Amino acid sequence: MSIFLKDWRQVAVLSSTWSLLLVGLVVWMPSNASPQELRVSEESFGCILDMPKVRNTRFKHADPEKLKEAMRIFRSSEPDKEYPVGTILQLVPFEAMVKHPHEKFPKSNGWEFFALEVSETGTTIIDRGDDNVLNVLLKAPCLSCHQPAAKFDFVCEKGHGCAPLSIDDQTIAELQKADLRWTKK
């Protein structure tokens, strides 16, 4: 009988240990039930010239692999592909779009648009949202211009169905070079 009790205690200890490990693993793992909260502040935006670019568009993401993925999606103009949450896209220093989980901004598939003011001391967010922010160049709500590119995750580029910009590639490059936050002048 003492051998049985000894084996029973070992089973109980092992069972308790496995239960604790399983509970710890479940608590440690990120939850897929609720979308990850992405915090975007004025500090999220730096000099546009510090960001890698594909054609005219500048990219930022805290995760280097997700940055590569976002740039690959853009470069190949893949329809029906979503950009990674946390992707920041900028064409000019005073506007940006940031990818959140779809649930946060369902009208724009997760994209939040930003109107920014830049100075040598940093960035100020003037306006933000999914359907109320005005595009400075087109003087229309950002979402109204980006909706035709829904098949491309609301990212405008030539051939995506968006209205053409009122400026050309050279002007875009000049606006990027004129970013007041540039410290390596």
Mean pLDDT of the chain: 83
Predicted local confidence at residue 12, as pLDDT: 39
Predicted local confidence at residue 165, as pLDDT: 86
Residue 138 token pair: 């087109």
pLDDT > 90 in the chain, percent: 65
Predicted local confidence at residue 185, as pLDDT: 57
HEC-encoded secondary structure of 15-42:
HHHHHHHHHHHHHHCCCCCCCCCCCCCH
- Mean pLDDT (whole number) for 166-177: 94
Residue 62 token pair: 């805290």
- Mean pLDDT (whole number) for 150-163: 93
Give burial (CB, 10 Å; 0-12/13-18/19+) of 130. Answer: buried
132-153: pLDDT as tens digits: 888 877 778 889 889 999 999 9
Q: Which amino acid is at 159?
A: G
Neighbouring C-alpha atoms within 13 Å toward the C-beta of 44: 22
Domain boundaries, the chain: 1-30, 42-177
* Count of positions (residues) in the chain: 185
86-97: pLDDT as tens digits: 999 999 999 999
2-55: pLDDT as tens digits: 444 454 444 333 333 333 323 333 333 333 334 467 899 999 999 999 999 999
